C-alpha cells in the first residue's frame, strides 16, 4: 500500500466512523449525545458560542477565500 | 375515525430560502479565491451568523431539555483522531503522499459544481447552528 493510499484510508476510516457514530446516536437518542445536542449545549454557553462561530467562520474563510495559501 | 394530523407541508418561505441559498452558493462559488468579491461573498454569511450569535446572547433562555452526555468521549475521540492525523499530514511532505483536509477539499473544489456543493454544505451547517 502506498503512502498516499494509506493517508486517504485514514481519512476515510475517520469519516466513516463519524457517520456511523452519528447515525447510531440519532437512532439511540436520547440515551446518547448527538452532534446536534453537543452543538446546542455549546451554543448555550456565552464563550463557547463564539468559539463555534469562529470555527465555522475560519473553515469558510480558509476554504473559499484564502485557499491553502492561508498557511503558506 | 378522521386523521387528526396531516403530513407536514413545505411552506413557500422555506422553498424561497433554500432556492435563495442555493443561488447564492452558486454565485459565490463561481468567484475566484483571493479576490475581494469572494471575500465579501463569504463575509456576508459570517457577519449574519455573528449578528445571530450576538442576538442569542440577549434572548431569554428557554427551558433547556437536559441532554445526554453519554458517548461524548466518542465524539471527542473522533475529533481528536481527525486533528492528530491532520497535524501529522500537515507536518509531512510531499503533499501528494500526505494529503491534508485542505488539499482534499481543493481537489473537490477544482470544479464549479464541486465548489458549489462545498459552499452550500458550509452554508447549511451555519444555518443549522445559528438559526436558533
ipTM over 0.90: no
The answer to whether the peptide bond before residue B32 is cis (omega within 30 degrees of 0) is no
Q: pLDDT digit string (tens) for B68-96?
A: 788 899 999 999 999 999 999 999 989 88
User: Which residues in B lie closer than 8 A to residue A8 (C-beta atoms)?
Assistant: 99, 104
Kindly write down the DSSP assignment for every residue of B41-103, as one continuous string. Answer: HHHHHHHHHHHHHHHHHHSPPP-PPP---TTHHHHHHHHHHHHHHHHHHHHSS-TTTS--HHH
**SS3 breakdown of chain A: % helix, strand, coil, rounded to 5?**
80, 0, 20
Q: How far is A17 from chain B (nearest CA, A)?
A: 8
A4-63 residues touching B, CB cutoff 8 A: 4, 7-8, 10-11, 14, 17-18, 21, 25, 29-41, 43-44, 46, 49-50, 52-53, 56-57, 59-63
Q: Which of B49, B72, B78 sits opposite A33 (nearest CB)?
A: B72
Q: pLDDT digit string (tens) for A7-58?
A: 999 999 999 999 999 999 999 888 899 999 999 889 888 899 999 999 999 9
Cell numbers that stand for A1 in this block: 500500500
User: Would you give the DSSP letter of residue B109?
Assistant: T
Using CA coordinates, name the residue in chain B closest to A39.
B129
- Inter-chain residue contact B68 with A33, CB threshold 8 Å: yes
Q: pLDDT digit string (tens) for B7-23?
A: 667 788 889 989 999 99
Q: Which segment, A24-28, B2-6, B59-63, is predicted with the most confidence on average?
A: A24-28
- Inter-chain residue contact A64 with B122, CB threshold 8 Å: yes
Q: How far is A49 from chain B (nearest CA, A)?
A: 7
Whether the per-residue pLDDT at B60 is higher than 90: the answer is no
Whether the per-residue pLDDT at B115 is higher than 80: the answer is yes
Residue A18 has a pLDDT of 95
User: Which residues in B lie closer than 8 A to residue A29 (C-beta atoms)?
Assistant: 68
Q: How many interchain CB pairs under 8 A, A with B?
A: 124
Angle at B128 between CA B127 and CA B132, to 5 degrees: 90
Cell numbers that stand for B126 in this block: 451555519
Q: How far is B89 from chain A (nearest CA, A)?
A: 8
Nearest to A65 by CA among B40, B75, B113: B40
Q: pLDDT digit string (tens) for B120-131?
A: 999 999 999 998
Amino acid at each position: 500500500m502506498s503512502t498516499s493510499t494509506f493517508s486517504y484510508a485514514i481519512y476515510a476510516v475517520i469519516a466513516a466512523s463519524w457517520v456511523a457514530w452519528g447515525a447510531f446516536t440519532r437512532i439511540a437518542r436520547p440515551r446518547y449525545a448527538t452532534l446536534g445536542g453537543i452543538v446546542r449545549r455549546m451554543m448555550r454557553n456565552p464563550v463557547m458560542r463564539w468559539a463555534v462561530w469562529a470555527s465555522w467562520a475560519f473553515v469558510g474563510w480558509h476554504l473559499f477565500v484564502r485557499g491553502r495559501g492561508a498557511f503558506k | 375515525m378522521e386523521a387528526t394530523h396531516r403530513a407536514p407541508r413545505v411552506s413557500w418561505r422555506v422553498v424561497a430560502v433554500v432556492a435563495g441559498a442555493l443561488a447564492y452558493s452558486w454565485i459565490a462559488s463561481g468567484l475566484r479565491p483571493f479576490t475581494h468579491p469572494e471575500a465579501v461573498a463569504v463575509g456576508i454569511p459570517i457577519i449574519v451568523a455573528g449578528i445571530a450569535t450576538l442576538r442569542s446572547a440577549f434572548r431569554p433562555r428557554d427551558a433547556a431539555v437536559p441532554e445526554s452526555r453519554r458517548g461524548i468521549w466518542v465524539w471527542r475521540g473522533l475529533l481528536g483522531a481527525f486533528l492528530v492525523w491532520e497535524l501529522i499530514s500537515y507536518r509531512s511532505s510531499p503533499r501528494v503522499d500526505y494529503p491534508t483536509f485542505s488539499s482534499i477539499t481543493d481537489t473537490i473544489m477544482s470544479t464549479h459544481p464541486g465548489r458549489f456543493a462545498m459552499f452550500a454544505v458550509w452554508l447549511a451547517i451555519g444555518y443549522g447552528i445559528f438559526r436558533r
